[in-house]
Protein backbone atom coordinates (compact mmCIF):
# COMPACT_ATOMS: atom_id res chain seq x y z
CA UNK A 1 0.00 0.00 0.00
CA UNK A 2 1.41 3.40 -0.96
CA UNK A 3 1.75 6.28 1.50
CA UNK A 4 -0.99 8.14 -0.40
CA UNK A 5 -3.39 5.20 0.01
CA UNK A 6 -2.60 5.03 3.72
CA UNK A 7 -3.05 8.78 4.20
CA UNK A 8 -4.97 10.64 1.49
CA UNK A 9 -4.13 14.00 3.09
CA UNK A 10 -0.53 14.04 1.90
CA UNK A 11 1.03 15.46 -1.23
CA UNK A 12 -0.82 17.98 -3.41
CA UNK A 13 -4.18 17.61 -1.65
CA UNK A 14 -2.67 18.74 1.64
CA UNK A 15 -1.38 21.92 0.05
CA UNK A 16 -4.91 22.70 -1.14
CA UNK A 17 -6.81 21.53 1.93
CA UNK A 18 -8.09 25.03 2.71
CA UNK A 19 -10.33 24.46 -0.29
CA UNK A 20 -12.35 22.43 2.24
CA UNK A 21 -14.02 25.67 3.24
CA UNK A 22 -15.38 25.96 -0.29
CA UNK A 23 -16.12 22.29 -0.87
CA UNK A 24 -17.68 21.70 2.52
CA UNK A 25 -19.16 24.89 3.92
CA UNK A 26 -20.44 22.91 6.89
CA UNK A 27 -16.83 22.55 8.07
CA UNK A 28 -17.06 26.09 9.46
CA UNK A 29 -20.37 25.27 11.13
CA UNK A 30 -18.85 22.16 12.70
CA UNK A 31 -15.85 24.15 13.94
CA UNK A 32 -18.21 26.71 15.50
CA UNK A 33 -20.13 23.93 17.26
CA UNK A 34 -16.85 22.55 18.60
CA UNK A 35 -15.95 26.00 19.92
CA UNK A 36 -19.39 26.39 21.51
CA UNK A 37 -19.08 23.00 23.21
CA UNK A 38 -15.58 23.74 24.50
CA UNK A 39 -16.74 27.13 25.80
CA UNK A 40 -19.39 25.35 27.85
CA UNK A 41 -16.96 23.10 29.72
CA UNK A 42 -16.66 23.63 33.48
CA UNK A 43 -14.32 26.48 34.27
CA UNK A 44 -13.91 25.82 38.01
CA UNK A 45 -11.66 22.83 37.36
CA UNK A 46 -8.70 24.99 36.34
CA UNK A 47 -6.76 25.03 33.07
CA UNK A 48 -7.61 22.39 30.48
CA UNK A 49 -5.05 20.34 28.55
CA UNK A 50 -6.41 18.48 25.54
CA UNK A 51 -5.59 16.59 22.36
CA UNK A 52 -6.97 17.09 18.90
CA UNK A 53 -6.37 14.10 16.69
CA UNK A 54 -6.50 14.95 13.00
CA UNK A 55 -6.17 18.73 13.34
CA UNK A 56 -5.65 19.28 9.63
CA UNK A 57 -5.04 22.95 8.88
CA UNK A 58 -6.29 24.00 12.31
CA UNK A 59 -9.88 25.02 11.54
CA UNK A 60 -11.39 23.29 14.57
CA UNK A 61 -8.24 23.89 16.63
CA UNK A 62 -8.74 27.62 16.21
CA UNK A 63 -12.39 27.36 17.23
CA UNK A 64 -11.51 25.48 20.41
CA UNK A 65 -8.60 27.75 21.37
CA UNK A 66 -10.68 30.86 20.69
CA UNK A 67 -13.44 29.57 22.95
CA UNK A 68 -11.32 29.37 26.11
CA UNK A 69 -8.27 31.25 27.29
CA UNK A 70 -7.40 28.43 29.71
CA UNK A 71 -7.22 25.72 27.03
CA UNK A 72 -3.89 24.27 25.89
CA UNK A 73 -3.95 21.74 23.04
CA UNK A 74 -1.66 19.18 21.54
CA UNK A 75 -2.71 19.09 17.89
CA UNK A 76 -1.82 15.88 16.07
CA UNK A 77 -1.94 15.08 12.37
CA UNK A 78 -0.25 12.44 10.26
CA UNK A 79 0.41 14.79 7.34
CA UNK A 80 3.32 17.19 7.68
CA UNK A 81 1.91 19.47 4.97
CA UNK A 82 -1.29 19.89 6.98
CA UNK A 83 0.65 20.64 10.15
CA UNK A 84 2.71 23.25 8.31
CA UNK A 85 -0.53 25.06 7.44
CA UNK A 86 -1.82 24.68 11.01
CA UNK A 87 1.45 26.11 12.35
CA UNK A 88 1.02 29.14 10.08
CA UNK A 89 -2.69 29.54 10.84
CA UNK A 90 -2.15 29.25 14.60
CA UNK A 91 1.25 30.90 14.96
CA UNK A 92 0.08 33.35 17.65
CA UNK A 93 -1.34 30.52 19.77
CA UNK A 94 1.87 28.52 19.36
CA UNK A 95 3.98 31.51 20.42
CA UNK A 96 1.74 31.90 23.47
CA UNK A 97 2.38 28.24 24.37
CA UNK A 98 -1.25 27.27 23.90
CA UNK A 99 -0.80 24.75 21.09
CA UNK A 100 1.88 22.21 20.27
CA UNK A 101 1.96 20.32 16.98
CA UNK A 102 2.94 16.69 16.60
CA UNK A 103 3.20 14.69 13.39
CA UNK A 104 2.13 11.15 14.14
Q: Starting at the earlier edge strand, list the strands of the sheet with 71-77.
A: 48-53, 71-77, 99-103
* Residue 65 confidence class, pLDDT cut points 50, 70, 90: very high
Better-predicted residue by pLDDT, 81 or 16: 81
Q: CA dist 87 to 19, 25, 81, Å?
A: 17, 22, 10
pTM: 0.78
| In the chain, where the domains are located | 3-103
pLDDT tier at 32, thresholds 50, 70, 90? confident
pLDDT interval class at 29 (50, 70, 90): confident
pLDDT higher than 70, residue 2: no
pLDDT (tens digit, 9 = 90+) per residue, 4-21?
Answer: 446 655 665 566 666 666
CB 63 within 8 A of CB 34: yes
Least-confidence region, from 14-23, 26-35, 52-61, 92-101: 14-23
Question: HSE-up of 45 (CA within 13 Å, CB side)?
Answer: 6
SS3 category, 19: helix
What class, spelled out in words, does domain 3-103 have in CATH? alpha beta
pLDDT at 72: 97
Amino acid sequence: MSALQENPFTGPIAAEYDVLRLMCPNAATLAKKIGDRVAGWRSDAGPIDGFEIGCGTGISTLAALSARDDLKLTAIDSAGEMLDQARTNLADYALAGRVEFIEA
